[in-house]
Structures are given as C-alpha cells and as structure tokens.
A and B are shown apart, each in its own frame.
Chain A
Amino acid sequence: MRPYNLLNKPKQFFALYTARHFQAGFNSLGQLSRTPMNTFMTCVVIGIALALPMTLLVLLKNVETLSQHLRQGTQITLYLKSTTTDAQATDLVYFLKKMPGVSSVQAISPAQGLHELQQQAGVDTAVANLPSNPLPWAIVILPSALFHSTQDLTTLSHTLQQITLVDSVQLDALWIERLFALITFAHRAIYGLALFLGIAVLLIVNNCIRSATQQSRKEIDVIKLIGGTHSFIRRPFLYAGMIYGLLGGIIAWQLVDLLLVWLREPTSQLANLYNSAFTLSGIGFLDSCALLILSVALGLLGAWLAVHSSLKSHKL
C-alpha cells in the first residue's frame, strides 16, 4: 500500500525528490513574499553587513595593484670599488645586461656623478674644492617586471653583492616594505571584520528563521503527527534561509559595485595627477560568485541551526 517503491524506481524517486524541493522552495518564497517589507529589511541588513568587508577587500586589492605599479619604480644601485677602471666598469655593464631579472642598466662614471652633483645648488663650491674626484662608479639597475616580489629583489641584490668589483648594493625598497607590511595588516583586519560580520549575518538569519518556526509551531506539530520527517519539516526553512542569503548577497554585490563606480572618477583624477594610468578595478566575476556562495551558505547554516534547535525543543 506504499505509494512508491522508492528503491526500485530511482527515476521516480528523483522526480519526487526534486518536485518536493521545488515545492518547498516555492512555499518559502511565498511565505517570504507575504511579509515583503520584513524580508526586504532583513536582506538589506544582511547586504550591508556583507558589503562592508567586501568593499574593503576590493579597495585593498586595488591598493595592492597600485603598489605593484609603484614597485616597478624600485631600482638597485651598485657602487663599485674605487679601484675599478673604466674598462672593467664597461665589461660589468655588459655582463649585468645579460643577467636574468635585469631590465635595464645605466652606468654613471665618477666624472658624470661629479657633474650631476655640481648641478645641485649649494654643493658646487664644496665639491669644487676637493683635490680629487672621490666618487666611485655607480650602476643603476632596473629589475625586470617579473622580479618584483621582495624576495626576488633581495636575492638579486645578494647575487650582485657577490661580484668582486661591487663595493656596496643599495636597494631602494624600504618604503615599499612598509606599504606591504601595512597591506598584510589590513588584510588580517579585514578578514577579522568579515568573520564578525559573517557571524552577524548567521545570527540575523538564525533569528528570522527561529521566529518563523515559532509562528509555524502548530503546523510543525501537525506535520509531525501525520508522519512528516524532520527533513521534510526542515526543508522550507532551509530554503527560506538560502533565499535570505541570496537576496542579501545580491544587495551586497550591488552596494559594492555602486560604491566603486562612485569612487572611480576621483581615483582616475588622482591617478592622472601622478601621471599614472591606474584605474579602480571592480569586484570581478570570481569574487562576486564567492560572495554569493558565501552568503547563501551563511543563510543555509543560520536556518539549519534555527530549525535544528526548534525541532529539538518540540515534544511531538
């Protein structure tokens, strides 16, 4: 007398299963649309909670790209030993140009250096009084674009230090180090914030679904009485949680996008002042997907916890 022999009819089982899921989904949608203002408000709150860390992350990503741009200005200066002859210096330049990780090499002879020094006001008289030219050969190296991580730069400067003619190596990257340390710090801070706000979203959905289960208390009792399983009871609430998450995620996504559009104009103006072609990049496809998946997952989890605790407290 059973309706279906489920094990022997997998196809039917599948149809039944999906039909029930759709039914539960539509039921939840109907329930939520019956109190549109409440649902909307909840979703906006979820959206704002998610938009805040997301915006910060996107902005930080932009700062990172910007710092990559800036790092391309990093140069390494080699000061050669004072005994170096012109011929040795030219050979070295030739050798350096072939080194991996080196983009361009510019040699500055002692005479050139002195000349440049004399151009600078205030120094000229002091320099003119020197008995001989104290400046060594200097070679300015611009690392290639692929060699811009801190580690690569340090390795490169270490290698350069090994060259016998080289007296000292100066890596002009300290401020970038500081910037990077700051970025790492900001990353952590934002992830911490995201964690807190994620928990907040979880609690918001949890609270909404909990009150929904309390409102459907009688319905839950009746369904239990006539043989509804826990998963049957849980299903519409899980859908409701997922819908909250999805709508909240979409709102967050739109908010982030809106904010970035709003910032794009002043950013490119700022970049123009620095002669940079830098433009603010948006949230991106993968990040958008991640945001939506995360918000749906938070909604689902919040709902699951709410229904779980309310099913446990039910007697029937």
Chain B
Amino acid sequence: MIELKQVSKRYPNGHLALDDVNFKLPAGDFAILTGPSGAGKSTLLKLIAGIEPLHQGQITVADFALHKMPEKQIPYLRRQIGIILQSPNLLSDKTVFDNVALPLVVAGYSYKEICSRVRAVLAKVSLAKKENCYPVELSSGEQQRVSIARAVVNKPAVLIADEPTGNLDGKLARETMQLFEQFNQLGMTLLIVSHDLNLINQFKHRRLLLEEGKLIDAPLQPA
C-alpha cells in the first residue's frame, strides 16, 4: 500500500519538483505513472524509497510512515519494497547470481534459501542460463531484467520501478509488463513509471499522470 498526502518536494537548488501530490494505491493495486520528461516521476519514486528526504507532506508505504520515521528505519523499509531505478546499477565485479542474491544476503537468509530463491527468480526473467555471467557480458535488456530479478527476489510487498522497460524492445517490454502482472496477481502492489504510451495503452491499469510536479487525472478512488 502506498499513500501520499500533500507531498511537495523542493530540491536544494530551489526547483519545485513535486507540488501538492495526493494519491492512494491500495494493497494489490497496479498503477502506471506517466508524464513528460522532467515532470517529477523519478523524484516521486525516490521519495517513496527514502532516497530523497521528505520535507513536506506525508508518505505511507507498507506500514512505514516515512514522514515520522527515524532514518535508521530506512533499510528495513527498503527490504519491504523492491526498487528498480532508471539505470540498472548492477555490481560489475559480481556475477548475475551474486547480484540477484544481494538483498537476501543483506537480510540474512541461509545459503540454501538464497540458492533456491535466486534460481527461481532468474528462471522467471529468463536468465537461468546466465547466472554465472558478469553484467558486462549481458545486453542492456538482460541487465534490466537482472535488476528486476534483484528487486523482487526478496518477495517485497511493494514494487516501484522507474522506466523498467526503457532499454527493452517492444516484445520484451510487453513480456516484462506481463511479468509484473504475474507479480501483481501474487499480491504485490506495483507502481511503474513509463512514458511509452504505445506500451501502456496495451494494458488496462490505473494511470497516474504527472505534469510539472502536479498529479492530474488521478481520482482518489480509481474508476
């Protein structure tokens, strides 16, 4: 579940990236956030993930109230949400397997559990054969999928993704969206950023439109 109340974000340089944003995404929902470049989509996701500090408004994500949470709690929030940023940011000196395993290592899972979960999720993103490859040996679409695998391996309650299909061709992008739908059917709440209208028009999901920091066309109760 994600809820934003009167959230505004002004960057230190004075730029107002988000202006009084309100919306509520109930648990198990799937929403697509769109808007022109520079509208503040990444900023919104960064606030939800605790990457950018929140100064104005209230954000609640998966039982964590970001506006009144000590900074020390942020790692535990991030274990509950899968985060996919605009760039895959994989570790180049670690194999695909190790990259995907990282969230489980951090959370302290046993080796056996890590193996089975990582293999399962790699199979889901069709990278089972590449588990011993290093990121440089992968195409950018494959790298994108590795970062998706890493984000969901911990079975998070919420997944937020910034242009996860940005590096993928039409067919792969569609398959990735279908993968997200599968996660959604398992009960995951998803907030996906995309400005690929061609792609999102193929899916019937709640749509949030952000323009110059203002969220429009977003009824509090989805139609």
A, B co-complexed? yes
Q: Kindly state whether residue A183 has any CB partner on chain B within 8 Å.
A: no
Query: Which candidate, B2-10, B24-32, B107-115, B171-179, is the interface stretch facing chain A?
Result: B107-115
- B133 interface contact, C-beta 8 A: no
Q: Give the residues from 47 to 61 in chain B that come closer than 8 angstroms, CB to CB, to chain A.
A: 49, 51
Q: In the bound complex, do residue B75 and residue A224 qualify as a contact, i.e. CB atoms below 8 Å apart?
A: yes
Pair B108/A227 contact, Cβ less than 8 Å: no
Nearest CB in chain B to that of A223: its residue: B106
B199 → chain A closest CB, angstroms: 25
A100 within 8 A of B: no
B78 interfacial by beta-carbon distance below 8 Å: yes
Q: Is B213 interfacial (CB-CB < 8 Å)?
A: no
Stretch of A126-134, A172-180, A214-222 on the interface side: A214-222
CB contact between A3 and one of B75, B102, B113 (< 8 Å): that residue: B113
**Contact A16/B51 with A222-B102, A226-B102, A228-B75 known, Cβ cut-off 8 Å:** no
Give bound CA distance, A255 to B78, whole Å: 49
Considering only CB atoms and an 8 Å cut-off, how many residues of chain A contact the other chain?
Answer: 20
A219 contact set on B, CB distance < 8 A? 91
Task: Say yes or no: is B206 at the interface (Cβ < 8 Å to chain A).
Answer: no
Chain A residue at smallest Cβ distance from B52? A315
With contact pairs A219-B91, A315-B51 given, residues A225 and B107 touching in the complex (Cβ less than 8 Å): no
CB of A1 closer than 8 Å to a CB of B: yes
By size class, the interface of chain B is: 20 to 34
**With A225-B83, A225-B85 in contact, is A3–B106 under 8 Å at CB?**
no
Using CB atoms, name the residue of chain B closest to A229.
B75
Is the C-beta of B155 less than 8 angstroms from some C-beta in chain A?
A: yes
| Contacting pair A221 B76 (CB below 8 A) | no
Q: Name A residues whose Cβ lies closer than 8 Å to a Cβ of B.
A: 1, 3-4, 16, 20, 218-219, 221-230, 232, 315-316
User: Mind listing 19 A-B residue pairs with CB under 8 Å?
Assistant: A1-B155, A3-B113, A218-B92, A219-B91, A222-B102, A223-B102, A225-B78, A225-B83, A225-B89, A226-B83, A226-B102, A226-B154, A227-B76, A227-B77, A227-B103, A227-B106, A228-B106, A229-B75, A315-B51
Query: What 15 new A-B contacts, CB under 8 Å, besides A3-B107, A218-B91?
Result: A3-B104, A3-B109, A4-B108, A16-B108, A222-B89, A222-B90, A222-B102, A224-B78, A225-B89, A226-B106, A227-B77, A228-B75, A229-B75, A229-B106, A316-B51
